[in-house]
Amino acid sequence: MTLTINNQFIPFESLVSASSIILDSSDSFREKIKSAQDLLLKEISEGKPIYGVTTGYGESGKNYLVYEDAVKLQNNLYRFHGCGVGDILSEQEIYYIMLVRLISISKGFSGVSVELLESLISFLEHGIYPAIPSKGSVGASGDLTPLSYIAAALVGDREVIYKSEIRPTSEVLKECGIKPYSFKPKEALAIMNGTSVMTGILVLQLQHFEKLLMQLESFASCLFEAMEADTTALEPFVHNVKPFDGQIKSAKNILAKTSGNSLTHDRLSRYKSFFDVENHNIQDRYSIRCVPQVLGVAWDNLAIAKKWVETEINSVSDNPLMNCDEQIIYTGCNFYGGYMAHAADTLKICLANMADLLDKQFAVLVDEKFNRGLGENLKLSKEHYHHGFKAMQISLSSLSADVMMRMLPSSVFSRSTESMNQDKVSMGTTGALGLKGGIEEFSSMMAIAMLGMAQAIDIRGVDKFSPFAQSIYDKIRKISPPLIEDRRLDMDILKVKDMLLRGDLI
């Protein structure tokens, strides 16, 4: 679908499903943009000090400048913020960052020109993405340093990613026939002074998080079958009397996927097995029985995070702001990324609980003392010199610790910076990057777990499982054969991990 950029609300799903971007060509939209710019230029012409336009930045706001120096000021803003470090963000992340910034300054309150918006659109149309280092932002006054790489690219400076190669911006613009942009008063500040980096990262990571959450439910449904568990714990009655939306949703999802197998028990058959089988507990372990209660929390927090990200996407997050109705320029703190910081921090905690759950589930699945006949380490070979999934369980457990160590909330680590002017900051980008790292590690955990589940299905017999479990099994077995003799599995993990990030095992 084509996404039209104007001052209208853009739903989260519309943003992530857009295949092309255009700028509203209506006179009403362009007049709204021009009115804000005219107000800014009028105030400047009357000699009024405008923060970041005819004054310095931050603590240097006490330094006043004449109009003739305003352009130099804008160029120096992106220049002195060219100190980002860390890995370059992915093209998909940078795409979302640019799009979120474009939406924000297109609301008609930032004092920018239509020409600046068109310049951003041109970059997106040509697939030109500024090479943005991932680190260097404290999340207020916005993502200044990483966003400076967009500002620099617009004027032909620094480097961009074009056709998956990092090249000098000037070369790429010449090749694409794009003229470098020249900033008007406040425009570099409007590009840089906002929450678009943390928000853009979260737009992508929320999509990954949701896919992995759904695929963890897929694993859980297969686990109920492989462990011959009691599906009574998934029945609607149990969850309707504790009516959290996420819990009800998760139980419904898992129960639907288990239908059509000959392995799981209901309440009556479990009572019978309790009397017929020696040492058979009448209830399953918490890591099996309580899955909806664990994952329901993640579903509900994801819904909150998605709503906050959607609101941030549609927010004006720079400073100062133009109120054309009152003919007043306001200064404020909309560049503070607190909501994004807390969204990331909360999902990091959810992810840590998901990792802990999966660690416990897989430990039960591979341990012959608890896995109800699946044998030692899910071995298909009877030879004692083969070891099955012994090392895979160690790797999975190690990764769970890595995920859980990231759960520490970034938002509480506010740093005092910039001569104590920025003395309370959000750390939102740090939180978003922490969630990104946790999702990367958790997806590797899920890949190991899914490979182990395919092995368990081989041991029990594919025909005994539900159609859903068989479909999961078939997809995995197309890229990874059963483990009979000991062999390396790192490449298999990577292949399944790619499937998970695409959402193929939902």
Using 50, 70 and 90 to split pLDDT, how confident is the model at 204?
A: very high
Q: Where are the alpha helices (DSSP H) in 324-372?
A: 338-366
Q: Which two structure tokens, joined as six digits, stand for 194? A: 């906002």
In three-state secondary structure terms, 18 is: coil
Asked if pLDDT for residue 205 goes beyond 90, the answer is yes
Residue keyed to tokens 């993405």:
129
- Give 468-503 pLDDT, tens digit per residue: 999 999 999 999 999 999 999 999 999 999 999 999
What per-residue confidence (pLDDT) applies to 423? Answer: 74
Residue keyed to tokens 């009024």:
48
b vs e for 96-109, b when ≥16 Cβ sit within 10 Å of the residue's Cβ? Answer: bbbbbbbbbbbbbb
Element containing residue 4 per DSSP (H, E): strand 2-5
Cis peptide before 141 (omega within 30 of 0): yes
The model's pTM = 0.95
What per-residue confidence (pLDDT) applies to 57? Answer: 64
More confident residue, 270 or 13: 13
In three-state secondary structure terms, 339 is: helix
Is 51 in the active site? yes
- Give 144-170 pLDDT, tens digit per residue: 999 999 999 999 999 999 999 999 999
Cis peptide before 320 (omega within 30 of 0): yes
More confident residue, 266 or 126: 126
One fold for 2-194 and 202-317+335-502? no
Angle, in degrees to the nearest 10, between helices 196-226 and 428-460:
20
Q: Beta-carbon neighbour count of residue 490 at 10 Å?
A: 9
In three-state secondary structure terms, 323 is: strand
- Give 237-248 pLDDT, tens digit per residue: 999 999 999 999
Q: Which two structure tokens, joined as six digits, stand for 409? A: 């909330």
Cα separation of 453 and 467, whole Å?
15
Share of the chain above pLDDT 90, in %: 83
Q: CA nearest 111: which of 313, 314, 327, 310?
A: 327
Backbone angles phi, psi at 46, to 5 degrees: -85, 5
In three-state secondary structure terms, 274 is: helix
Asked if pLDDT for residue 202 goes beyond 50, the answer is yes
What per-residue confidence (pLDDT) applies to 275? Answer: 45
Asked if pLDDT for residue 277 goes beyond 60, the answer is no
Tell me if 203 sits within 8 A of 11, measured CB to CB. no
At position 117, the amino acid (one-letter code) is L
At position 356, the amino acid (one-letter code) is D
Q: CA nearest 333: which of 10, 51, 49, 85?
A: 51
Backbone angles phi, psi at 274, to 5 degrees: -60, -35
Q: Which of 51, 78, 181, 473 is catalytic?
A: 51
CATH number of this structure's domain 202-317+335-502: 1.20.200.10
Q: Beta-carbon neighbour count of residue 155 at 10 Å?
A: 19
Adjacent-strand bridge partners of 4 = 22
- Give 169-193 pLDDT, tens digit per residue: 999 999 999 999 999 999 999 999 9
In three-state secondary structure terms, 2 is: strand
Asked if pLDDT for residue 113 goes beyond 80, the answer is yes
Tell me if 119 sits within 8 A of 181, measured CB to CB. yes
Tell me if 379 sits within 8 A of 413, measured CB to CB. no
Please give the mean pLDDT across all residues of the chain.
93
Adjacent-strand bridge partners of 265 = 230
Q: Which two structure tokens, joined as six digits, stand for 351? A: 């992810």
Sequence-distant (≥ 6) Cβ neighbours of residue 318 within 8 angstroms: 104, 105, 110, 142, 189, 190, 193, 194, 334, 335
Backbone angles phi, psi at 179, to 5 degrees: -80, 130
What per-residue confidence (pLDDT) applies to 320? Answer: 94
- Show the 3-state SS of 79-139: HHCCCCEEEECCHHHHHHHHHHHHHHHCCCCCCCCHHHHHHHHHHHHHCEEECCEEECCCC
Asked if pLDDT for residue 280 goes beyond 70, the answer is no
Tell me if 452 sits within 8 A of 378, measured CB to CB. yes
Q: CA nearest 146: which of 160, 135, 138?
A: 135
Q: Distance of CA 211 to CAs 197, 217, 434, 498, Å?
A: 22, 10, 18, 12
CATH number of this structure's domain 2-194: 1.10.275.10
Most distant CA atoms of the chain, gap in Å: 92
**What is the DSSP track for 202-227?**
HHHHHHHHHHHHHHHHHHHHHHHHHT
Dihedral, CA of residue 114, residue 119, residue 124 and residue 126, to nearest 10: 140
- Give 75-101 pLDDT, tens digit per residue: 888 999 999 999 999 999 999 999 999
Domain ranges in the chain?
2-194, 202-317+335-502
- Classify residue 461 as left (phi > 0), alpha (psi -120 to 50) or beta: left
Q: Provide mean pLDDT across the span 45-73.
A: 73
Adjacent-strand bridge partners of 328 = 323
Query: What's the burial of 272, exposed, middle or buried (CB within 10 Å: 0-12/13-18/19+)?
Result: exposed
What per-residue confidence (pLDDT) applies to 58? Answer: 61
What per-residue confidence (pLDDT) applies to 60? Answer: 62
Asked if pLDDT for residue 45 goes beyond 90, the answer is no
Asked if pLDDT for residue 276 goes beyond 70, the answer is no
Backbone angles phi, psi at 81, to 5 degrees: -95, 10
